[in-house]
Amino acid sequence: MTTLRTVLQIARGARTFATQAALQRTPLHSFHVQRGAKMVEFCGYDMPVQYKEGVLTEHLACRQKAAIFDVSHMGQLHVEGKDRIAFMESLCVADISAATDGKSQLSVFTNEKGGIIDDLIVTRTPDYLYVVINAGCKEKDIKHLKAKAAASGLDVKLNIIETHALVALQGPEAMSTLQKLLKDDLTRMPFMTSAVTAVNGVQCRVTRCGYTGEDGFEISV
């Protein structure tokens, strides 16, 4: 739990993504390096592939307790404007209009022939749609969204979030670990729902989701 608090404090304090040479760095880059992580290129970022304890230890931590993943290289954006739902529904297969505020949906961008461009998570909120896209296709997806928005004639605006880190907490003890840092009752947050709340005293967007097969959360800070 101390490590999670430290990670969130560092992520909040950095708030910017640095570029050096050809590789970008997430706000947690110094955290990884100081703890002896093996850094490799991934999707244009200098990212940790493993720590000195080894991948088996990391795997078991996620399966038996809880593990933290720096996923700040993924794309985060807000889709705003009165036509935001119609716009996104024209690009992906999610039924956003039927979703309640705070509901997150795993969906896919499709092309004109119905082929899949990429997957995404879209969350409905009262004022905007919060969208998370894959790091590997981030530039392509953003270019696609901008082109479609410009040609749509709809009242829609894309706000690319470039000052927030994204941290995933995954594992069977993810909820009990995160619960110690916030007042909201996480038992009332079902899988694939999202809310803005104070984590360790800092306003964050917390979404209950993940790709490990375990319970987990993604924290945008």
DSSP string for residues in 149-187: HHHH-SS-EEEEE-S--EEEEESTTHHHHHHTT-SS-GG
CA distance 55 to 139: 29
Per-residue HEC secondary structure of 9-63 comes to HHHHHHCCCEEECCEEECCCHHHHHHCCCEEEEECCEEEEEECCCCHHHHHHHHH
Question: What residues have CB less than 8 Å from 110, skipping those under 6 apart?
Answer: 91, 92, 93, 116, 117
CA distance 101 to 190: 13
CA distance 135 to 75: 6
Q: Which helix (H) or strand (E) holds 7?
A: helix 2-14
CA 109 from centre of chain: 17
In tens, the pLDDT along 72-89 reads 999 999 999 999 999 999
pLDDT of residue 17: 61
pLDDT of residue 161: 95
pLDDT of residue 36: 94
Q: Which helix (H) or strand (E) holds 196?
A: strand 194-199
pLDDT of residue 19: 59
pLDDT of residue 2: 56
Give the chain's residues under pLDDT 70: 1-2, 12-21
pLDDT of residue 22: 80
Closest CA to 4 of 150, 221, 159: 221
pLDDT of residue 190: 97
Question: What residues have CB less than 8 Å from 83, skipping those under 6 apart?
Answer: 152, 154, 155, 156
CB atoms inside a 10 Å sphere around CB 187? 8
